[in-house]
C-alpha cells in the first residue's frame, strides 16, 4: 500500500509560458474531442486504418528516427532492457499496424446503453457510454505506447495528449506527425492527437496541472514515474501497473497442476506486472518440493525462509536466504520469494501486508479455501487454479488494453476501451415535472 504523508508531497512549479502553451493545446484537443465524440464508428475505423497504412508507408522514416533515439540512448548508457523497449524493427512496426487493425475491428464503446428503464411517471431513462473528452498519457520510452494510446483514444471518441519520454523523442515526433496527417486525411482535426514532448519534463508537469482541461491522465511505466504522477497531478489519474503478485499453494494442491501453474506465473514473462513474485506454501503441502524443483529447473533464483530452504534442498547459489526487502519488491526477473506459512490465515495476513492489489492466486482443491481466498483477498484480480499471467485485457476478452489499474475508482484490473469512457444519463419525457 502506498504510504505518504503531507511532508512527502513534492511542490513544483511549471513555467508560466509552458503552462499557457499546454493549456492552449488542451483547448484545441477539447475542440477536436467534440468532433470525435459524435463521429460514427465507421469514420473512426477509417481513420485507424488510414493511420495503419501511413505507418506502413513511412517505415523507413520511422526506423531512421528510431535509430537516432537508440544511438543517443546507447551513448547515454541506457540499460539494455530499456534500449530493447525503445527499439523498433520491421516486425515491431507490423505489430503496431496489426494493433490498429484489430482496434478497428472492435466494437465501439461509445453509445452503448449500459442501463435504462421506464419510470412509473413515464420518463424513459437511459445511461449511455460517452467519451471522456481529453485523455492524457505520460509514459516512458516505448514508442508502441504512442500508437496504442492514440488508437485507443480515437476509437473511444477521445482526443489524446501524449508525453512519451525524451529517450524516444525523435521516434515519437515522427509517429505523432504521421498520426496527425492521417487524421487530417480522414477528415478529423489534426489536434485530435498531440504531443507535449517539445516541453520536456515541464510538458509532463503542465499536463498534470491542467485540471478541467484534461479529463484523465494515465501514467504507464515504472514505480517512480507512476508515483510522481499520482503525487503531483491535479488532473484525475488512473494508477496502473505495479504488481507484487502472490501465489498461495494449499496443502490440497496436486503437484501436476501446481508446478506448471507456479512456473508459468513466474517465468512466462518475468518483466510483466502480472508475473508472480512470492510463493506462499502451506506447511506440509505435498506438492511443495516438486514445485520448487520446477522453478529451479527453469533457472529461477529462490529467496527462501528457513522452512522453504529445506523444501528447496538447502541453500545454494540458486537458493538464498530471503531478506526483509524481498517480500516487498517487484523483481520483474527470474527471482521468487518463497515462504512457508502455517495456515491460510497466515497467507492472507502476508498478502494483506505486502500486496500491491494487482493479482493473487490460490492453488487448491479445497472449496472452502478457494472461497475464503476469493472473499478476503482485496486485489484487482484473484485467480483460482489459473496462472497470474491471465490478468491481461487481451486474455480476459476485453480486446486492446489501456493498462492494468491497481486503484479502485473508475477502473480496476485490465482496462479496455470502455474505461476511456464516462456515462451520461438521458431522460426523455413529454413534459413531466416533479411534484
Q: Which is nearer to its own copies, 194 or 275 (CB)?
A: 275
Spatial CA neighbour of 185 closest among 197, 177, 174, 173: 177
Residue pair 97/58 in contact by the 8 Å Cβ criterion: no
Span near its own copies by CB under 8 A; candidates 160-168, 281-289, 310-318, 427-435: 427-435
Judged by CB under 8 A, the chain residues 35 through 94 that form the site for its own copies are: 37-38
Q: Which of residues 138-177 bind its own copies (CB under 8 A)?
A: none
Asked whether position 402 contacts its own copies by CB under 8 A, the answer is no
Decide: 109 and 192 in contact? Cβ < 8 Å: no
> Of the two residues 62 and 207, which places its CB atom closer to its own copies in the complex?
207
Nearer to its own copies, 61 or 112 (CB): 112
Nearer of residues 17 and 198 to its own copies, judged by Cβ: 17
Q: How far apart are alpha carbons 397 and 410 in whole angstroms? A: 19
Grid cell 475542440 in the structure block, residue: 31
Return the SS3 of 118: strand
> Which stretch in 9-17, 97-105, 165-173, 322-330 sits in contact with its own copies by CB under 8 A?
9-17
Our CB check for its own copies shows the closer of 65 and 421 to be 421
What 3-state DSSP class applies to 124?
Answer: strand
Residue 262 near residue 294, CB atoms below 8 Å? yes
* Shortest spacing between CB 369 and its own copies, in angstroms: 13
367 contacts its own copies (rule: CB under 8 A): no
Biggest CA pair distance of the chain: 80
Q: How many whole angstroms separate alpha carbon 59 and alpha carbon 101?
A: 17
Nearest approach in angstroms of CB 432 to its own copies is 5
Report the site for its own copies in 213-232 (rule: CB under 8 A): 213, 215-216, 230-231
With CB under 8 A as the contact rule, the residue among 34, 41, 49, 350 that binds its own copies is: 34
Instruction: Determine how β-strand 276-282 pairs with β-strand 245-249.
Output: parallel
Per DSSP, 4 falls in state -
CA distance 309 to 316: 9
Position 125 contacts its own copies (CB under 8 A): yes
Residues 371-400 that bind its own copies (CB under 8 A): 374-376, 378-387, 389-391, 395-397
Residue 354 sits in the site that holds its own copies (CB under 8 A): no
**Is 425:125 a contact under the CB 8 Å cutoff?**
yes
Binding of its own copies by 252 (CB under 8 A): no
- Count CA atoms closer than 13 A to 240's CA, side-chain side: 25
Residue count at the site for its own copies (CB under 8 A)? Answer: 84
Taking the complex as a whole, how short is the minimal distance between the CB of residue 424 and its own copies, in angstroms? 7
Amino acid at each position: 500500500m502506498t504510504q505518504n504523508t503531507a511532508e512527502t508531497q513534492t511542490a513544483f512549479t511549471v513555467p508560466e509560458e509552458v503552462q499557457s502553451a499546454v493549456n492552449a493545446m488542451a483547448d484545441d484537443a477539447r475542440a477536436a474531442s467534440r468532433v470525435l465524440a459524435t463521429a460514427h464508428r465507421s469514420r473512426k475505423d477509417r481513420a485507424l486504418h488510414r493511420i495503419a497504412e501511413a505507418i506502413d508507408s513511412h517505415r523507413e522514416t520511422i526506423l531512421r528516427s528510431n535509430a537516432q533515439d537508440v544511438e543517443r540512448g546507447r551513448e547515454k548508457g541506457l540499460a539494455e532492457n530499456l534500449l530493447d523497449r525503445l527499439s523498433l524493427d520491421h516486425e515491431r512496426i507490423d505489430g503496431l499496424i496489426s494493433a490498429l487493425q484489430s482496434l478497428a475491428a472492435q466494437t465501439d464503446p461509445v453509445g452503448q446503453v449500459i442501463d435504462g428503464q421506464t419510470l412509473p411517471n413515464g420518463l424513459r431513462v437511459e445511461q449511455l457510454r460517452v467519451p471522456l473528452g481529453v485523455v492524457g498519457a505520460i509514459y516512458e520510452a516505448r514508442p508502441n505506447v504512442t500508437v496504442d494510446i492514440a488508437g485507443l483514444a480515437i476509437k473511444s471518441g477521445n482526443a489524446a495528449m501524449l508525453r512519451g519520454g525524451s529517450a524516444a523523442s525523435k521516434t515519437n515526433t515522427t509517429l505523432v506527425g504521421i498520426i496527425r496527417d492521417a487524421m487530417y486525411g480522414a477528415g478529423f482535426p489534426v489536434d485530435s492527437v498531440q504531443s507535449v514532448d517539445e516541453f520536456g519534463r515541464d510538458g509532463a508537469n503542465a499536463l498534470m496541472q491542467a485540471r478541467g482541461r484534461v479529463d484523465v491522465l494515465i501514467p504507464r511505466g515504472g514505480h517512480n514515474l507512476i508515483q510522481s504522477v499520482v503525487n503531483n497531478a491535479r488532473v484525475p489519474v488512473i494508477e496502473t501497473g505495479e504488481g507484487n503478485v502472490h501465489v498461495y499453494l494449499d496443502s490440497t494442491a496436486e503437484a501436476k497442476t501446481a508446478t506448471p501453474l507456479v512456473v508459468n506465473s513466474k517465468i512466462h514473462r518475468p518483466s510483466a506486472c502480472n508475473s508472480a513474485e512470492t510463493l506462499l506454501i502451506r506447511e506440509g503441502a505435498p506438492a511443495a518440493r516438486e514445485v520448487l524443483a520446477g522453478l529451479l529447473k527453469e533457472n529461477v533464483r529462490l529467496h527462501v525462509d528457513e522452512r522453504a530452504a529445506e523444501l528447496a534442498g538447502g541453500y545454494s547459489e540458486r537458493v538464498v536466504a530471503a531478506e526483509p526487502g524481498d517480500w516487498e519488491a517487484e523483481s520483474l526477473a527470474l527471482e521468487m520469494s518463497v515462504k512457508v506459512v502455517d495456515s491460510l490465515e497466515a497467507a492472507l495476513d502476508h498478502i494483506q501486508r505486502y500486496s500491491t492489489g494487482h493479482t493473487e492466486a490460490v492453488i487448491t482443491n479445497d472449496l472452502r479455501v478457494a472461497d475464503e481466498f476469493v472473499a478476503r483477498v482485496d486485489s484487482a484480480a484473484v485467480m483460482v487454479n489459473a496462472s497470474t499471467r491471465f490478468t491481461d485485457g487481451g486474455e480476459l476478452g476485453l480486446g486492446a488494453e489501456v493498462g492494468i489499474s491497481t486503484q479502485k475508482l473508475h477502473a480496476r484490473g485490465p482496462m479496455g476501451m470502455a474505461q476511456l469512457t464516462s456515462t451520461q444519463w438521458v431522460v426523455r419525457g413529454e413534459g413531466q415535472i416533479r411534484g
